[in-house]
Structure 1
Amino acid sequence: MQTFFTPDQLADPINAKANKILRTCVHCGLCQATCPTFQVQGDELDSPRGRIYLIKEMLEKGRPADARTVKHLDRCLGCLSCTSTCPSGVDYAHLIELGRAHVEATYRRPLGERLLRGILLRVLPYPTRFRLALFGAGLVRPLARFLPGRLKGMVALAPRRLPALSRAEDPQTYSVAAPKMRVALMTGCAQKALDPEINEATIRLLTRLGAEVVIPKNIACCGALPLHMGAEGRAKALAEAQVRAVMAEHAAKPLDALVITTSGCGTTVKDYGQLLGTEAAAKVAGLARDVSEVVAALGLPQGKGGLRVAYHAACSLQHGQKIKTLPKELLQKAGFEVVEPVDAHLCCGSAGTYNLLQPEISAELRRRKVETLMAKAPQVIAAGNLGCMVQIGQGAGVPVVHTVSLLDWATGGPLPKGLAP
């Protein structure tokens, strides 16, 4: 793609980075075939190529974002399916981040939108606040039909019963007799409030396989949710705090890995070197591993799962981290019959806060995803990302369980709560 940044503009590192990415695009349009929003909307500007043009025009002219540009950038899921398709290696992930950061810096959203986004930024990354919000959603559920559209959707996504707080996620060390490796577990933010069983299953499984598991002090939100919303400053502050927490544990006694059970978080943490540009951040990024990678490295024994499992490949795992087959292979080794839906590369519509901010498109993507999953007649659906689990669980007629919970159960752990009669 030809660009027309001036030398003065290219002196700005942001424009220089954008220019480098833009010039790799060859306008081929192959990305449109795998873009979920283009498939739903049928609008060129709701495809990666269209959004690339919008970002190029906005940055080249050095102008503030306008409502038209914001609408189409906001509709991007950030699923990165386009990056798996692109023959030219366009770094769309970082380009859309630059575009969204420019939007937040130059565009004043309507009051209602500012309030909604402000609430999400101040609630979702903080487990205690999030639990209180979920409790409040339960109280207003009987009145949900009187709420505005997006608030109604938020109430619908909230669980009808909150899980009990888990003390397993408190800072501590889970020792084993002859450790094969020493790992830190990133406990997450929304996950601690919505499904602490995932971390509990991870601790059981990893220690059973011979890993010493450490829950670091002050481990918190990785910054993925604010980054997805274009709040780069807030995302960096959370990421820096995460880096400090992990490096403090690593300095006390070296870690072999930082285990992450929510793939959306994993994609962000593995990119900390780019996001923060520090040696410590790059070190943490190098330690970051999806839980499936660590389980495979430790060696999973044969299990006795027995169920027919439809595997949902989270976009952040298959496109963001390029982990495409490993979770399925582990489930098969654990004794499960694994089936995969058609169009497995397409997003379910969760995408961080997307299902809260773009409920109509999100609902249509969920409908399509659930339809393809249920066409495989599964007894359970497995996924490696909490957001996907919540999203798909709204429409699926079978339990939706984290992959690690199934692996834990098949190799000696308790039955996942979602499978209980």
Structure 2
Amino acid sequence: MRIVDIIQNKRDGIKLSDTEIAYLLDEYLEGNVPDYQMSAFLMAVYFNGMEKHELKVFTEKMMNSGDLIDFKGINKILIDKHSTGGVGDKTTIALAPLFASFDIGTAKLSGRGLGHTGGTIDKFESIKGFTFPETKEELVELVNECGTGIMGYSDKIVPLDKKLYSLRDVTATVSSIPLIAASIMSKKLAVHADGIILDVKTGSGAFMKSLDDARKLAKTMREIGDSLDRKVVTCITDMDQPLGFAVGNSLEIIEAIETIKGRGPKEFSYLVKTLAAIGLQLKGDVKDLDKGRQMVEDMIQSGKPAKMLKAFIKSAGGDENIVDDYKLLPTAKNSVAVYAKDSGYVNTIEAETIGKAAMVLGAGRATKEDVIDHAVGLILNKKVGDKIETGELLATVYYNDDKNIESSKQMILDAYTISNTQTKERDIVIEIESVNV
């Protein structure tokens, strides 16, 4: 069997056999296939895609390229929620203690951010003393103790994905939907979960800019989950403007806590309640999402989710008092207001530009080596559909270093489009689809 023949078959749209896929990936992982040949294969996939069975085999092979984590010591149902990322996405911080309140465990691997804002790991590291478990045993202990366990990705989990992604990044094949789906699902499937909720973002601040592409990605990931007998629910959610009002690590921690106390932004609160309700469906507690959302609202009013978050933070070595005293979180030395230049209605907010406005302050990383400033970021004062007058507060910027402050302020102004007519805001939850639930 020759690698060049496998490349040629994919180039010509010929379905690959299980043996061909396994041979290609095994040989590449072992270093016997040069990057230029794998680059050619990835480009062939970019143009010709993969059939369902090809993608199943491809994903399963990636999944099995490293360690598999099975949490046999955990005594509750496990649900893994994954987001394709966006600006101001602090959902896991609010959702995990809600799950724990319903005796649903969160045992997942999360990453650090690269780009607009920090990832889940970065946000939790805003909390003084907070450390993540380093072993599976520590993760299991954490979940059994407080219902939530999160740790960083290991190089031993799906090493083939890491190698392939690095190559996709420099060969203009990152946006291939089959390759995106295989990358996400191989990591989700390598870590045991009784149910997987995939939050697929679409809009200006998302990787999937168009709703059509978001639907294709969601459908492809559901099909992979179905082919490997996993319960998968996909939600397509809006990222045409930042999620909530806060962008920046400690600021997002505060907004997430406010949400589980019942005081969060309307659209973010609805998203969190919906995802939690889906978790209740997966657990078997409810069939109707509206009933599930009401159960979540009642739980929030009981105060239990905030207590569960405190327990998680304390178990992870952090100062749990931050849940009640936000002054214990990193605080920027300076703040400056950004005022509207025009009157009218907020028509659009370019989420990606807002993310970059936070990143240049230090809230995100331009390169993997950059050090995040957990204190900096911004709080928006106006969202799509809001009326605004010239000179009215648009956003507040929190910063420590004034080197990029003017650039950040200008990016915020550039991100907003003001019009004379009011724009109807898109629903935060656009579509929900499931398999085997």
Q: Which of 1 and 2 has higher RCO (CA within 8 Å, sep 6+)?
A: 2
TM-score clears 0.5: no
Higher share in helix: 1
TM-score using structure 1 length: 0.28
